[in-house]
Structure 1
């Protein structure tokens, strides 16, 4: 790969603990040590129960008042 996940993991370590983080992923790859985080997942194709994709989750997470969104 091109190292996107490795770079993301390194950058996450520098986010202050008081910030609210919401991550949107298709597979759980990111480790977020900050206590104030929410993890949202979507499935590729029609496999998920809700049928929500990344676009729908992004729209929903904007209502959760995040300081940072990881997509």
Structure 2
């Protein structure tokens, strides 16, 4: 993996974390997320699942990028 690709993947992972954490904060504060009795709406549940899955995938992508950068670094020090 090239350094550019590894940096892109790491940046994507960080960006994804920021975006989805912010999304969940806004989702939690939304009036559409809660029924009048205080229970979660289907809107909330669906979007929370979307956010969790996307956060996990973004983290995995970021870890792949980090591992790519570490592998490149170890190749340079071994040479």
Please, what TM-score do these two structures have when normalized by structure 1?
A: 0.29
Structure number having the greater helix percentage: 2
Task: Say which structure, 1 or 2, has more relative contact order (CA 8 Å, 6+ apart).
Answer: 2
Please, what TM-score do these two structures have when normalized by structure 2?
A: 0.28
Larger Cα Rg: Structure 1 or Structure 2?
A: 2
